[in-house]
Amino acid sequence: MQMALSENCPSPGLTFLLLLLALLFHAGVSDLGLNFYSESCPRAEEIVKEQVTKLYQKHGNTAVSWVRNLFHDCMVKSCDASVLLDTTSRIVSEKKSQRSFGMRNFKYINTIKEALERECPMTVSCADIVALSAREAIVMLGGPYIAGMKTGRRDSRESHISVVDDFIPNHNDTISLVLSRFQSVGIDVEGTVALLERTGAHSVGRVHCLNIVGRLYPNVDPTLDPEYSEYLKRRCPSPQPDPQAVQYARNDRETPMVLDNMYYKNLRTQRGLLLVDQQLVSDPNTSPFVEKMASDNAYFHHQFSRALLLLSENNPLTGDQGEIRKDCRFVNTQ
């Protein structure tokens, strides 16, 4: 009887090995991959590129929005397009968070989605649109093409509004807190300096006066260059700016719509726009990387690409998790 049992039942070691192989196989099936849509929607990435290019030609500021979308989506729990959801009777949108202040151009994500739906209905996720549009936008802004961007993400059925503040750094946070937030999603100090708190948006685009006046009133932050502080006061003349008004200052006046290392050069001359910017120069953990990026644009682009790829793969929904939304603003009707 003992011999029969041994012949017909696998050993505990073999059982464990078979279970491990099954788990690895399942994980491999559901992971992100390059050219995920090569069979289901062969032109998917080309369509995203076409639409991003058209939108950029009509509305140049969309490129900055695409980059910021990826940061706000992927930093908060998962790269799952939760940031795109509108408020409904069942969902409170992440767009309602103060951390999302100034985000715009969401409607154009659906322009891209509609083009994909015409080609391949219910196939390409909104989460992948966020990632791919950011990749193309970086090129539009003069940055590097990130060839290793994987796809296969799926869309969340819920908003993460209740935890947005736990993941997205604020403009007046300490640099140690900013570093810890990025470290929690697997990005090291070097990558954080390249991405900063809005994934490169400090190198391009603009910042509303609401996020600046704390360094100007009632007294000017002594770490600000005097000439630069005068420029900021002209842009933001009131200590209580209207949140609805178009009152802002450029992050980089020299090359405002180019993703380059001018931002780091400005930091060396005390022209960091936000408090956290200037801390990058004064903190011994980050200052060496600021210096290196200021002197080497290619190095900055390399670190930016590396860190952005890591961020784009943060805890995605894959396989049978989540869904593929038909409209990026709403979960599908069950």
CATH H superfamily, domain 167-308:
Peroxidase, domain 2 (1.10.420.10)
When pLDDT is averaged across residues 289-301 and rounded to a whole number, the result is: 96
Annotated binding-site ranges: 73, 76, 80, 82, 94, 169, 202, 252, 255, 260
For residue range 242-288, what is the model confidence (pLDDT) as tens digits?
888 878 887 777 887 889 999 999 999 999 888 888 899 999 999 99
Number of residues that make up the chain: 334
Q: What is the pLDDT of residue 201?
A: 45
72 is catalytic: yes
- Where, residue-wise, is CATH 1.10.420.10 in the chain? 167-308
pLDDT at 24 over 80: no
pLDDT at 312 over 80: yes
When pLDDT is averaged across residues 169-196 and rounded to a whole number, the result is: 93
Burial category of 232 from C-beta neighbours within 10 Å (exposed 0-12, middle 13-18, buried 19 and up) = buried
- Where, residue-wise, is CATH 1.10.520.10 in the chain? 43-164
Q: What pLDDT band is residue 30 in, cutting at 50, 70 and 90?
A: very low
pTM metric for this prediction = 0.87
Spatial separation of the C-alpha atoms in residues 68 and 188, rounded to whole Å: 19
For residue range 191-248, what is the model confidence (pLDDT) as tens digits?
999 998 444 445 566 788 988 999 999 999 999 999 999 999 999 999 999 888 878 8
- On whether the 43-164 domain is CATH 3.10.129.10, my answer is no
What stretch of H or E contains 250?
Answer: strand 248-250
Q: What pLDDT band is residue 12 in, cutting at 50, 70 and 90?
A: low
What stretch of H or E contains 268?
Answer: helix 262-268
Annotated binding-site ranges for Ca(2+): 73, 76, 80, 82, 94, 252, 255, 260
pLDDT at 124 over 60: yes
